[in-house]
Amino acid sequence: MNLDHTHDPLARSWLASANAPGADFPLQNLPYAVFRRAGSTEPWRGGVALGDQVVDLAALAAGTLLEGVAAQGARACAGDALNDFLALGRPAWRALRHALFALLRQDAPATAQAAVRALLVPLADVEYRVPTRIGDYTDFYTSIHHARNVGRVIRPDNPLTPNFQWLPIAYHGRASSVVVSGTPFRRPWGQALPPGAPTPSFGPCKRLDYELEMGFYVGPGNAQGEPVPLTQAEDHIFGMCLLNDWSARDHQFWEMNPLGPFLGKNFCTSISPWIVTMEALAPYRVPFAHPADEPQPLSYLDGAANRAEGGIDVRLEVLLNTAQHRARGAAPHRLSATSFRHQYWTVAQMLTQHTVGGCNLQTGDLLGTGTISGPTPEEAGAIVELSAGGRQPIAISGSGETRTFLEDGDTVVLRGWCEAPGRARIGFGECRGEVLPALASVT
């Protein structure tokens, strides 16, 4: 993906908050969400973040500041989901990005600045919804470090399954329980087999976990029976978000004999509201390769472009904010930090694998990358790894507590950003979710 003037790290906006050091949403980012003023009955509509404001795309589309393909793109963002815009494909995505960049940069005409300023809504005043109509949600399993860490909990003598190094593994998730950041959820009920017990028990989850992931949204889909080759895969990917695949480990480990996750995963998946486009992430593409002494991808999952820049260096962190933290006014505890660049398979390989058998992806579909863990213990992307399956309690700073798994009242916050010398910082905002107590009974 080529860099252009919209990636210029020296470019500044006339909106001062977009130029602030450490800002998630500078001029070079321009991520998309669906929003309205909090507590209002306004229509949901698409918006683009800049600094501490949202550019109302429905209002922008109703005016005369845009023309041609860019105007078409803005009109496609005016509804309560971004599917129509995602379906337009890369030419429209790029046209609207370039037009917005021109309107928002420091040297934009004064009349344009005044007109756009009237369309801004403060981020502090808005609420969000899931940004697309998600027809299907698939979650992958593509961190070899996570696979080995969790595998040691389940199969200490043989932690890595034989297929992991040959293909991006995935399971079909539940789109109906995907929720936007800030939505609390109840601790789920289900079956589990307690250690040493001859029969399973039924009750609220006792081993509730988070999973640090990213998600990516499908742009144009593909026809059933027509796979997407690796060289074309990223033409079908609009952008990325943060994703928390909440997991009931005791239920999951009992039911995954022999099929994949079911109740252990289908009760809630949280996503950040902002979609950071692949265009904005272009300066942070990095080479991808499996170690030379490990199996190399089969030909349909391999290619020069994917090797040259298939990876993305997104820095990630997980924060835990317990009820005691909030009561004391203490800062959240940082559980771990890592980078998406460590993933064993790229987003292009995931999409190609998903379609190689003829599966037809649809515009707005969400694909999760699987838990993101790095090579060191402090880079683990789930508490089951950090606590060694619950055997090693984690000391929580600021509250004096410990955790082996999540407790009621815990809030988990995922954050992500790209940053490097000589490049503009590109942020994702945050993905937040709070654990509520289980229902008293489900019978």
The residues that are catalytic are 146
The alpha carbon dihedral of 31, 36, 42, 44 has a sign of positive
**Cα separations in angstroms, 318 against 22, 35, 147, 281, 294:** 18, 25, 19, 21, 30
Q: Are 243 and 271 in contact (CB under 8 A)?
A: yes
Short-list 356, 405, 103, 374, CA closest to 253 = 405
Tally the residues of the chain. 443
Instruction: Give the burial class of 294: count Cβ atoms within 10 A of its Cβ; 0-12 exposed, 13-18 middle, 19 or more buried.
Output: exposed
The alpha carbon dihedral of 250, 254, 257, 263 has a sign of negative
400: left (phi over 0), alpha (psi -120 to 50) or beta: left
